[in-house]
Structure 1
């Protein structure tokens, strides 16, 4: 029984260490076209009122929103970190100086997805680019910091 607990603990620890590595590496391996497909499924699911979703549709909807919101949170953390590094008592204005885009204070989740989808429909040439670069382009184009 002790050996099973040790193996179980080792596998959990290994998983916890590898998840960030795979998440970091995925930025360069997931195309904008792939993300667009999952996000379009998400928009259709929302239009249906989230009823009678297949497991694949539910997964794709969640993946799309999670990817985009995760990117937004990463950018916010980056802006805050840069502001704090440059000034101990950083203000919102200090953070906006370093921000790659500036979103309004409250926005519905569907709007985040729609911004990306609309951008990709206007820029189909980006379908083979990394998804992270197209998400950045979409938000910095629609919500530049002033």
Structure 2
């Protein structure tokens, strides 16, 4: 990155992730005013992408490594988002960090590989 533009501003930080995933939960819980669709979609895309990356990482290791986290297959997307939002709210001093790092930390803590 050049100049004064930080990686977290370009790639998104925990504040943006908390905002979009809170919007997703409002949509899921039907407690929003109908204006959360785009932000909710951003959260869905991010959480799904992080989960997919984790699966690919494990697969390309030839079975020698597990992923960074091990979410049971029956855990629905809504639960993953709730775990992530809970982690972000519990760690407000970390919200300036990259979305990817925070997501990996949240899922590694909640869904450790055994």
Provide the TM-score with structure 2 as the length reference.
0.85
Aligned partner of 1:44 among 23, 26, 33: 26
User: Compared with structure 1, are the counterparts of its residues 27 and 112 closer, same or farther at alpha carbon in structure 2 (3 Å cutoff)?
Assistant: farther
Unaligned runs of 5+ residues in structure 1 are 1-24, 85-89
Deviates more, 1:26-35 or 1:102-111: 26-35
Unaligned runs of 5+ residues in structure 2 are 1-6
Which residue number corresponds to residue 53 of structure 1? Answer: 34
Aligned partner of 1:126 among 87, 90, 94: 94
Residue 27 of structure 1: how far off its partner (Å): 9.6
Residue 75 of structure 1: how far off its partner (Å): 1.1
Secondary structure of the residue that 2:97 maps to in structure 1?
A: coil
User: Compared with structure 1, are the counterparts of its residues 26 and 79 closer, same or farther at alpha carbon in structure 2 (3 Å cutoff)?
Assistant: farther
